[in-house]
Structure 1
Amino acid sequence: MRILLFTGKGGVGKTTLAAATAAWLARRGRKTLMVSTDPAHSLSDAVGQPLHDEPSEVDGFLYGAQVDMRGLTDSAWGTLREQLRDMLSGLGLDQLDAEELTVLPGVDELLSLSEVQRLADSGPWENVVVDCGPTAETLRLLALPEAVAGYLRRLPAWRSATVAARSADRFAAHIESLREMLTDQETTTVRLVLTPERVVVAETRRTLTSLALRGITVDGVVVNRMMPSAGLWRGAAASWLRTRRAQQEQVLAELRDGGLLPGTLRTVEHRAVEPVGMEALLEIADELYGQTSPLVGEPNTVPLLETAETEAGVQLRIAIPLAKDSDVRLARIDDDLAITVDGFRRLVALPEPLRGYTLTGAESDARGLLVHLENPS
């Protein structure tokens, strides 16, 4: 099974492109589920029929579902919250503290991701196409399993035979399964959708960095709403089209020259009429993919960490895309290297042989960060 996650800045057309991709796959006889975690519920509008919290047939091999956050909060969160409360109480916290700590920020994102996993595993789907929320919400959603897993690894609860241990084990296993689903590039990849505007491209760069820090694979970028060519037309309207298209092409050139683009770059022209319904979506899909499959991408297979010995110690390369103006900060926290890029932070566990080394400096190049470590002995 393949899972494709579509995300992008709000208003760039990711819902339409996700639906078009799902329609393309289904029309070729592949049982496909499209799921929306976007609170705007615009996936129903794109396919021209209502969607519900359980998959329903849209067209032949195409099924659709809309994650119902209110229903999830009322039902699934109760069980998860009980597990957390048992775990925290077993660690010595009194009942009041345990209750307060189970009111977690980010629980909506955790439940959304859990529901996507449940829906993906519960049916005979060959492909699952997910219309995620806008970029900020999606980054919180995709970062949460890694963050929670990091906290759980530091808890000693499951080392003893207690109720807390059993609860921690169940919760940790669930979080780990979500993390594995997201970081398995053979199964899950992200498609970033943007419009050719500098402010959108800037956000896309930050998104690429954040996803790379999480070990989540981006295998393609879709540039939506390209202005059509004016051809041989004349007049004010044709002049405006040429000027606008030239500006868009310049933005794309800067994006390509930045060396940050992962995978395949595809473009879609702006439509005069809002695309709604299967035929309109399939028309977009044909422009988007032509004779190639939407499942074909070019994931970055470079490992996140690589080491090389130097005279002074070791160079640790961290393969993340960086813009020239990225704000990068590094720090040692016990056996981890804390990496913060433009406000996105991740703790990267140092390889065991390097844990006694001292961080002495870092620099960046086209391949990411190059961290210098010295052996104090």
Structure 2
Amino acid sequence: MSDIYPVEALEAHDADETETEDIDLVTAVNHTLHQEMGRDDTVRVMGYDIGPIGGVYRATEGLLEEYGDERVIDTPLSENGIIGTAVGMAMAGERIVPEIQFMGFSYPAFGQIMYALVKMYDRTGGDAEIPLTVRMAYGGGVKALEYHQESTETYYLHTPGVRVVCPSTPYQAKGLLAASIRHDDPVLFMEPKKIYRGGEQSVPTDEYTLPLDEVRVVHEGEDVTVLTWGAMVRHAVAAGEAVDASVEVVDIRSLSPLDVDAVLESVKRTGRCVVVHEARRTLGLGAELSALVNEYALDRLKAPVKRATGYDVHFPGHDIEDDYLPDEERARYAIEAVMNYEF
């Protein structure tokens, strides 16, 4: 499958009532940041390289010129300092959007995330709200160096006090990011950099938000449910179109809190479940989804849950990167495995 899968095949939305623009996912992020900073004077962005050069992906391009260096804060190279400072600013009434350039760069900030960001509301008995959205590029597929291709969302899914959100299309990116920035609790906003420029989509120019706690059914089906998110959604859709089965593709998009009822409703109806994600297999979200299905829908299953995931190794070098990442072929194999299974 081509890296650029037709975005129209991933989503249908009603854009007839408003003006639209054809943009890719990273541009949707950029336009949303412009929109939210123009809408609310308390919104500030911060991170290194986000100012004059507009970020390494150009996601913050034009913000410094438009809003000045008191609202677009180009920081030193210190993730620990970025998150710690952002939490303090949020407690003081600002609405902060720090950027962590790569998910693998978040590890130096892990202490601030665990001790300050996610616990402050609870520690203060609800007195301190932390309206803070951490934008974080994640995942492989761009032939980058180590620590630049991590998909270790499990660390944050295991942590109470923070929402974890992941868009799969430009339309989703704009609506989910706007909702995240306006939310009064911490949000970790995962941006799949492999598809930053993976095709354009008609996106409304007007403001809109999308729910932060609901799945999105990308394609309805009757025979098997495929649960996935981010850059893997297009692989799941392509695999579903390639097999002789009616495949329901569910974009989790809100990884935490998880829309458990919708997941179980789909699996109970189809009787089969496949999970596709690029994170490592052990303790990836697929393990929790499999456990949920086995705990609450075992009597409806026609086959065991099957996972197509990354491997339990460090993200490999350029020459074998494509062999590590799940793709249409591996998703198709998993779907065919559950379709052909006999107890």
| TM-score, normalised by the number of residues in structure 2 | 0.34
Q: Higher strand proportion, which one?
A: 1
Larger Cα Rg: Structure 1 or Structure 2?
Answer: 1
| TM-score, normalised by the number of residues in structure 1 | 0.32
